[in-house]
Chains A and B, each alone.
Chain A
Amino acid sequence: MSVLLFTALVAIGSFSAGLLGALTGLGGGIVIVPMLTLLFGVDLRYAIGASLVSVIATSSGAAAAYVKEGYTNVRVGMLLEIATTVGALGGAYLAGRIGTSAIAIIFALVLLYSAYRSTKPLAEHVSTENAHPLAIKLRLNSTYPTPNGFQPYAVQAVPAGFGLMAAAGVLSGLLGIGSGALKVLAMDQLMHLPFKVSTTTSNFMIGVTAAASAGIYLARGYIDPSLALPVMLGVLAGALTGARVLARANTKVLRKVFAVVVVVLALEMLYKGIRGGV
């Protein structure tokens, strides 16, 4: 295959991943690595490097809009970024130490979990009481815009959320993904942030988390410019398009389709990881 054709196909594939990721809310990053390795035969390490770069692009692009709307809780984001960056450094370090087969198996399990999560919506828990003592001390409690004006919310379970975010950071550094599913779980379910706040704050943190591991990937020679460029531009263009057509799309059907795609990719990744030869 010529460089020209390869670049065009990778860009089209990445665009589709970015589009579906934005429409379903799952993020495109999670299917980039399986697509590159299974479909295009790219080495897993190059694929993870390219995916990390695309994660930074989409999260920074989206965060630019979200931060201005007033949903993002910058204090919660900054505090939890300590956990995710430490985790990401650890994950990127591990990625150079454990074999690609083990990484493929872990990746497959994360894909399966994300597909499961996408079909089982979680309940929102928002309250103005029972804030964790640390939330008061660190001034994490805040307000968010609703149709009835700005509503206050109290942040709970700060230490548990911090711990789960460290784990999300490890996965991000190890697999080159945003770990959005785990982040939202920690912030919605443990810390009881409103959905809009947890989604946008998680997105705000993803760029920083990915940048922490991207530095290590760059120094290790895992970031190939001719591969990372079409992936990054494709995912970014797809995500921006997705955000524009979101209001008109039937996301319920799309989520199911995307969940099936993710499960198929996960099983293939699992098979390759167990058999070897990723």
Chain B
Amino acid sequence: MTSPTERRTQWSDDDVDQLLGNLLRIGVIVATIVAAIGGVLYLAQHGLESVDHHVFRGEPAELRHVSSIARGAAALRADAIIQLGLVLLIATPVARVAMSLVAFVLQRDRVYIVVTSIVLALLLFSLTGGVPG
């Protein structure tokens, strides 16, 4: 059992739950707002063009990687702003796992520090394009 002095420096599971819940909510809200702003711009610019999703071409290279998506969004390209919102959305669960790792470190929970590190490594491996297409 933990002594009172130790307990003060540790987080309870409930504190962590509240924190994770807030993180997820904020992530979804921010991502949705960014993507929606891009969507309004996109419809204003391309709304009357005709649509074609029947044939698969694959997205252009500048919409496939985080760095080029960020550059495109900074240049106020509508499709890049939407994509930036979607990237933020994909990053939300990843941030949640990172936050869990911090919590387990503060709780000095060795087994779950290892477990969470493995999950985080797998996610970062995927997001940095580690798996060949």
The answer to whether A and B belong to the same complex is yes
Interface of A with B (CB < 8 Å)?
A: 1-4, 6-7, 40-43, 45-46, 53, 56-57, 59-61, 63-65, 67-68, 70, 72, 74-75, 78-79, 81-82, 85-86, 89, 92-93, 96, 138-139, 207-208, 210-216, 218-230, 232-233, 236
Q: Which residue in chain B gives the minimum CB-CB distance to A138?
A: B111
Taking the nearest CB of chain A, how far is it from the CB of B29, in angstroms?
9
Q: List 28 A-B contacts (CB under 8 A).
A: A3-B47, A4-B47, A7-B39, A7-B43, A7-B47, A41-B54, A53-B86, A56-B89, A57-B32, A60-B93, A61-B28, A82-B118, A85-B126, A92-B131, A207-B92, A208-B97, A210-B93, A214-B126, A215-B90, A215-B128, A218-B87, A219-B133, A225-B42, A225-B59, A225-B80, A229-B42, A229-B82, A232-B32
Known: A60-B24, A61-B24, A232-B89. A215 touches B129 (CB 8 A): yes
**Distance in angstroms between the alpha carbons of A207 and B6 in the assembled complex:** 33
On whether the beta carbons of A74 and B100 are closer than 8 Å, the reply is: yes
Measuring CB to CB, which residues of chain B are less than 8 angstroms from any residue of chain A?
A: 13-14, 16-18, 20-22, 24-25, 27-28, 31-32, 35-36, 38-39, 42-43, 46-51, 53-56, 58-61, 63-65, 79-80, 82-83, 85-87, 89-94, 96-97, 100, 111-112, 115-116, 118-119, 122-123, 125-129, 131-133
Known: A215-B128, A216-B126. 14 other contacts (CB 8 A): A40-B53, A56-B92, A93-B132, A207-B96, A208-B94, A212-B126, A215-B90, A223-B59, A225-B35, A225-B86, A226-B46, A229-B39, A229-B42, A229-B82
In the complex, which residues of chain A have a beta carbon less than 8 angstroms from the beta carbon of B36? Answer: 229, 233
Q: How far is the CB of A140 from chain B (nearest CB, A)?
A: 11
Cα distance A219–B58 in the bound complex, in angstroms: 10
**Residues of chain B lying within 8 A (CB to CB) of residue A93:** 131-132
- Residue among B55, B92, B128 making CB contact with A43, cutoff 8 Å: B55
A56 to B87: give the CA distance in the assembly, Å: 11
CB–CB B13/A74 < 8 A: yes
**Shortest CB–CB separation between residue A176 and chain B, in angstroms?**
13
Judged by DSSP, the binding face of B is helix
In the complex, how many angstroms separate the beta carbon of A216 from the nearest chain B beta carbon?
Answer: 5
Question: Beyond A89-B126, A218-B87, is A75–B112 a contact (Cβ under 8 Å)?
Answer: yes
**CA separation between A138 and B114, bound complex, in Å?**
12
* Closest beta carbon of chain B to A197's beta carbon, Å: 13
Cα of A219 to Cα of B35 in the assembled complex, Å = 18
Residue pair A82, B42 in contact (C-beta under 8 Å) = no
Q: Which residues on the B side are within 8 Å of A208 (C-beta)?
A: 93-94, 96-97, 119, 123
From B21, B89, B96, give the contact of A65 (CB < 8 A). Answer: B21
Q: How far is the CA of A226 from the CA of B83 in the complex (A)?
A: 9
Residues of B within 8 A of A68 (CB): 17-18, 21
- Given A67-B17, A67-B24, CB of A3 within 8 Å of CB of B93: no
Taking CB atoms, residues of chain B closer than 8 Å to A3 are 42-43, 46-51
**Residue on B nearest A52 in the bound complex, by CB:** B90
Smallest beta-carbon distance A100→chain B, Å: 9
* Cβ-defined partner of A78 (8 Å) among B43, B82, B85, B112: B112
Q: How far is the CB of B98 from chain A (nearest CB, A)?
A: 11
Smallest beta-carbon distance B111→chain A, Å: 6
